[in-house]
């Protein structure tokens, strides 16, 4: 799949070389994880370090973007890989795990997905399993909803869960046709990247080719509007991050990283192949730097101000 995606990205880049890519054609590779790694998510800590979740093995890695040094931070039992990462309180994170095979033909096992709490407030990382969600097909994106609850995307079933980190209680808050993959998709992977911001959930649908938003009640998490598209059509979007002006910086399987403004205008930021996820720097000197992880184990950076 790496190869196919890579080739598609190159073809697309060549055929649109005259498009508006001015000065932003390439990012700089700052790190490559060993052993054919697949990085699924990248998340910036308040101290400037970057967290990387691996899907090919259940490991959380850390990258110092100024020293360009990586190391393994924690391993997770009873799972083959990790997907989403988010921060639930200062230096305390929620990390999604489950069973997926990414070497050879790609597949996942429904019913194996769950959420961990990863406490990095002391020098010794502390991992605690919060809850398995046996009804879920394929959990990926995760975003904080309030100081105890995260929202988790079920790409397999096309629904959105809320989960309490302190009690492990969970429920489906929304299930919608816009969250499901197309029936002819290579794998059932619908709702993928999610971000909650001020009463609105934004989400991508990878094999449903969409980027949507929905208003939800800040107390119950139930939707208070219908789901509406932010961008009418986008091919195979993966994870994204929201910039300061509310624009989404989004990894897409075939067109690199794109920027989508709140009113739905899109432009290409960089033509990175097989991008999986994006994060803005949170260190002293890199707040305008966009870091991009890839399913081929690299992290690159680009000035995205
Ligand atoms: C994931 O797969 C591994 C290896 O097959 C297995 O040992 C483990 O129990 C599975 N995890 C879950 C949650 O079923
Ligand atoms: C979390 O939010 C609840 C309700 O908004 C509030 O009562 C509580 O003090 C908050 N806890 C922390 C640790 O911020
Ligand atoms: C949050 O949303 C409300 C209602 O849509 C809006 O009035 C307010 O300005 C928003 N706040 C921020 C910080 O965006």
Q: For a pocket test of ligand 2, which of 121, 147, 218 has the largest count of ligand atoms closer than 8 A to its C-beta?
A: 147
Q: Whose CA is nearest to atom 6 of ligand 1?
A: 78
State the Cα–Cα distance between residues 62 and 94, nearest whole angstrom.
Answer: 15
CATH number at residue 242: 2.120.10.30
pLDDT at residue number 15: 32
Q: For a pocket test of ligand 1, which of 96, 99, 114 has the largest count of ligand atoms closer than 8 A to its C-beta?
A: 99
pLDDT at residue number 21: 43
Q: How far is the CA of 181 from the centre of ligand 1 (A)?
A: 25
Q: Which atom of ligand 2 is nearest to the CA of 148?
A: 1
Q: Domain total for the chain?
A: 1
Q: Which atom of ligand 2 is nearest to the CA of 147?
A: 1
236 lines ligand 1 (CB under 6 A): no
pLDDT at residue number 230: 97
Q: How far is the CA of 199 from the centre of ligand 3 (A)?
A: 8
pLDDT at residue number 104: 87
Ligand nearest to the CA of 129: 1
Q: What is the pLDDT along the chain (305 residues), one digit of tens a residue?
A: 333 333 323 333 333 333 344 445 579 999 999 999 999 999 999 999 999 999 999 999 999 999 999 999 999 999 999 999 999 999 999 999 999 999 888 999 999 999 999 999 999 999 999 999 999 999 999 999 999 999 999 999 999 999 999 999 999 999 999 999 999 999 999 999 999 999 999 999 999 999 999 999 999 999 999 999 999 889 999 999 999 999 999 999 989 999 999 999 999 999 999 999 999 999 999 999 999 999 999 999 999 98
Structure tokens at 73: 């931070």
The predicted-structure confidence for 48-76, as pLDDT tens digits, reads as follows: 999 999 999 999 999 999 999 999 999 99
Ligand nearest to the CA of 246: 3
Q: For a pocket test of ligand 3, which of 195, 196, 197, 198 has the largest count of ligand atoms closer than 8 A to its C-beta?
A: 198
The predicted-structure confidence for 273-295, as pLDDT tens digits, reads as follows: 999 999 999 999 999 999 999 99
198 lines ligand 3 (CB under 6 A): yes
Q: Which atom of ligand 3 is nearest to the CA of 198?
A: 1
Ligand nearest to the CA of 197: 3
Q: Which atom of ligand 1 is nearest to the CA of 99?
A: 1
Rounded to a whole number, what is the largest CA-CA distance in the chain? 54
Residue with tokens 């194996």: 112
pLDDT at residue number 305: 80
SS3 sequence of the chain? CHHHHHHHHHHHHHHCCCCCCCCCCCCEEEEECCCCCCEEEEEECCCCCEEEEECCCCEEEEEECCCCEEEEEEECCCCCEEEEEEEEECCEEEEEEECEECCCCCEECCCCCEEEEEECCCCCCEEEEEEECCCCCCEEEEEECCCCEEEEEECCCCEEEEEECCCCCEEEEEECHHHCCCCCCCCCCCEEEEEEECCEEEEEECCCCEEEEEEECCCCCCECCCCEEEECCCCCEEEEEECCCCCEEEEECCCEEEEECCCCCEEEEECCCCEEEEEECCCCCCCCEEEEEECCCEEEEEECC
Per the structure, the complete domain to which residue 150 belongs is given by: 3-303
pLDDT at residue number 210: 97
């Amino acid at each position: 799949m790496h190869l196919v995606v890579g080739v598609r990205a190159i073809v697309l880049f060549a055929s649109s070389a005259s498009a508006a890519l001015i000065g932003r054609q390439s990012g700089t590779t700052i790190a490559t994880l060993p052993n054919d790694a697949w990085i699924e998510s990248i998340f910036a800590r308040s101290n400037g370090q970057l967290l990387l979740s691996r899907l090919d093995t259940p490991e959380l890695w850390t990258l110092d973007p100024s020293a360009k040094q990586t190391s393994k931070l924690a391993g997770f039992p009873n799972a083959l890989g990790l997907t989403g990462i988010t921060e639930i309180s200062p230096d305390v994170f929620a990390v999604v795990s489950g069973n997926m095979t990414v070497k050879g033909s790609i597949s996942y096992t429904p019913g194996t997905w769950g959420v961990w709490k990863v406490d990095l407030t002391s020098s010794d990382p502390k991992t605690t399993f919060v809850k398995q969600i046996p009804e879920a097909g394929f959990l990926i994106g995760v975003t904080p909803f309030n100081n105890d609850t995260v929202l988790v995307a079920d790409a397999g079933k096309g629904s959105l869960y809320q989960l309490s980190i302190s009690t492990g209680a969970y429920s489906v808050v929304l299930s919608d046709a816009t969250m499901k993959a197309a029936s002819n998709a290579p794998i059932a992977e619908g709702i993928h990247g999610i971000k909650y911001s001020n009463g609105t959930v934004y989400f991508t649908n990878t094999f449903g080719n969409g980027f949507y938003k929905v208003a939800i009640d800040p107390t119950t998490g139930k939707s208070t509007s219908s789901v509406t598209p932010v961008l009418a059509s986008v091919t195979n979007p993966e994870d994204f991050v929201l910039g300061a002006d509310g624009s989404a910086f989004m990894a897409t399987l075939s067109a690199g990283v794109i920027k989508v403004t709140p009113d739905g205008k899109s432009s290409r930021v960089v033509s990175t192949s097989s991008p999986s996820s994006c994060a803005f720097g949170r260190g002293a000197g890199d707040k305008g730097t966009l870091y991009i992880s890839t399913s081929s184990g690299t992290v690159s950076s680009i000035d995205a101000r």
